[in-house]
Amino acid sequence: MRCFENIAKLIRTKRINHPKGYSQSELSHLLGYKNGQFISNVERALCNIPLKMLTRVSEVLDIDPAELKAAILKDHERTLDNYLEKGRAQAAQTSEVQESSAALM
């Protein structure tokens, strides 16, 4: 349901193309994490960068804050769309069940 694809792509691209060519582990350490698993999870779109880390990520990877913000907002918009679509589908299914039950009475 939650979408992290845009931030994942941005972080991976910026990390790989950075002049220092950080590994996932190196970047994680620079951000204060103990191993590379955190960045691996971000790049696989399993989680997002915590808000308190955004400034540091922007500085370390030379990402324009506006670009970082745009990626996160796209992901939030997609997440909202996913939840709204799921809600509509559930409402439609509930309505069909109620209509079927009413027809049987």
Q: What pLDDT digit, counting tens, does each position of 62-80 carry? A: 999 999 999 999 999 999 9
What number is the average pLDDT over the span 6-17? 97
Banded pLDDT at 17 (limits 50, 70, 90)? very high
Whether the Cβ atoms of residue 40 and residue 24 lie closer than 8 Å to each other = yes
Tokens 């079927």, located at residue = 100
Whether the Cβ atoms of residue 60 and residue 30 lie closer than 8 Å to each other = yes
DSSP code per residue over 12-58: HHHHHHSTT---HHHHHHHTT-SSTHHHHHHHTTSS---GGGHHHHH
What number is the average pLDDT over the span 3-11? 97
